[in-house]
Homo-oligomer: A and B are copies of this chain.
Amino acid sequence: MDHELCLPEQAGDAAQTLFAALREALGAAAVLTGEDIPARNEKDWSTLSALRPLAVLRPTDTEGVAAGMRICAQHGVAVVPQGGLTGLCGGARPVEGAVALSLERMVGVEEIDPASATMTVRAGTPLQTVQQAADEAGFFIPLDLGARGSCAIGGNLSTNAGGNRVIRYGMAREMVLGLEVVLPDGSVVTNLNKMLKNNAGYDLKHLFIGSEGTLGIITRIVLRLFPKPGCTMAAVCAVESYDKLIALLNAARRGLGPLLSAFEVMWPDYWRTVTQRVPGVSNPLAGEHACYVLIEAQGMDEAFDAPRFETWLTRQMEAGVLADAALAQSLADVQAFWGVRDACAEFPQVLGPHESFDIGLPVAAMDQYVSACGAALRSRFANAVALFYGHIGDGNLHIVACVPGASAQPKEEIAGIVYSLVQQFGGTISAEHGIGLTKKAWLPYTRSEPELALMRRLKAALDPQNLLNPGKVV
């Protein structure tokens, strides 16, 4: 077993020397080895198997991260950064012979600056803690995802997390003003900028956001704070064609402007499955339609924004864009509408083993893709199930596919069909989950050789020894 290679009693002198140097620099409590290594540090939420790291480092400050990185580099040992370990693509999963560097003890909000509307926070802080601190200070953190209680804000940035409200607030990247980062050589690059405008030299933060811990370890972050929404309006709508859906999207962009906070489309197979088979989900609409969409807007003042939303919806109905619509009359309605969209969390129970995909496509191509992908899957596997839904205003489509009754899901073959069509339609194989290990082989389906060469060149420039999260992404 690979694991046993890493037990300290069997590890060679080199490992013992490394551990001693790390304990000397970081303190014994910050260096876990052998049986002391928690199982949680052996994997993330991907389907990859567990792998015990050589050691787990748990520094409590930036200097500790820098020292750990520097000492590992001196010993030629790789480092895998870990946050909340909720990633879906293996970005934080240990690799053979590497030390895991966990940010779990680098938690806490350092400062909230109401005038600049910024929060300075340590990278290991759970997203939910960040959200709550903003809320208590009278502000709002729009970044939100299912793993909010476990995921770390540093990990959210290293994967450039998305979520439901990207159409309004952008990706995690757009919510960051400043970063502190430890480079693979252990040097610390600090730019805790609070200004929306800062054009003094290269904007280095974007190099680290979304590069999945392969170029540097994010240790501190300056986040933008947003005003709390004053009210939320929502409707579920049905349309008779994808053309009408595009018309509805553009009408929402125009009529709701920057208040538009979600435009979540569900194709009929998805709609039928969740409304008929997921317990507790009720169907707010009657009949069968070409597409269903949950539209949400966040306003500042219900007195102005609720009538605006209703007027806008009525106009769409009168203009013949909508086949049917249900307007939320209460917060309970809003939650019930989101229940249809969030029912995808129940697919393991409802569908059994299945494959999930997080792809992106130009909006105009999406319905053609859905048809082509469903047909291709059913042509290869007669009884294939393929459900399509996603954040269509952002160009993000989720796919759930399976072959019911198969003794093992034909993972690679399904992925090959999904990603070959992504390539054909000019889309992306990862809209929000990243590449990590699990999608790396497919990356050439969506990025050209000159792009990949430039990524490798950046990796070599920042990490010439290939010691930081090696083998991930590029």
A residues near B (Cβ < 8 Å) are 113-117, 159-160, 162, 166-168, 170-171, 173-174, 183, 187-191, 193-204, 206-207, 209-211, 215, 226-230, 246, 249-250, 253-259, 299-301, 304-305, 307-308, 360-364, 391, 393-396, 427-435, 439, 443, 446-448, 450-455, 457-458, 460-462, 473-474
Contact = CB atoms under 8 A, between A and B. Distances in A.
B207 A207 contact: yes
A249 B307 CA distance: 26
A457 B451 contact: no
B461 A203 contact: no
A259 B258 CA distance: 7
Contact of A258 (B168, B199, B451, B473): B168
Copies in the complex: 2
Contacts of A195: 360-362, 394-396, 427-428, 431
A299 B300 CA distance: 12
Contact of A196 (B249, B394, B446): B394
Contact of A451 (B167, B197, B201): B201
Contacts of A361: 195
10 contacts: A160-B199, A171-B196, A195-B395, A197-B428, A198-B430, A199-B435, A201-B435, A204-B451, A206-B206, A300-B308
Contact of A197 (B360, B435, B447): B360
Contacts of A460: 461
A394 to B, nearest CB: 4
Contacts of A446: 200
A314 to B, nearest CB: 13
Contact of A114 (B183, B215, B250): B250
Contact of A450 (B188, B201, B395, B462): B188
Given A195-B431, A202-B473, 16 more contacts: A114-B250, A115-B249, A115-B363, A160-B199, A191-B451, A194-B362, A195-B395, A199-B210, A199-B433, A200-B443, A200-B446, A201-B455, A202-B207, A202-B474, A206-B206, A257-B300
A196 B160 contact: no
Nearest to A256: B300
A30 to B, nearest CB: 23
A117 B364 CA distance: 10
A112 to B, nearest CB: 11
Given A195-B360, A204-B455, A257 B227 contact: yes
A363 to B, nearest CB: 4
A143 B393 CA distance: 22
A254 B300 contact: yes
A114 B183 CA distance: 41
Contact of A455 (B202, B258, B396, B432): B202
Contacts of A432: 197, 199
Contacts of A162: 197, 199
B198 A360 contact: yes
Given A227-B257, A454-B189, A203 B117 contact: no
A116 B448 CA distance: 22
A461 B459 CA distance: 10
Given A113-B362, A395-B116, A428 B198 contact: yes
Given A195-B395, A199-B430, A189 B307 contact: no
Contact of A210 (B202, B256, B360): B202
Contacts of A474: 201-202
A431 B197 contact: yes
A432 B114 CA distance: 23
B201 A443 contact: yes
B166 A197 contact: yes
A364 to B, nearest CB: 4
A227 B202 contact: no
Contacts of A363: 113, 115-117, 194
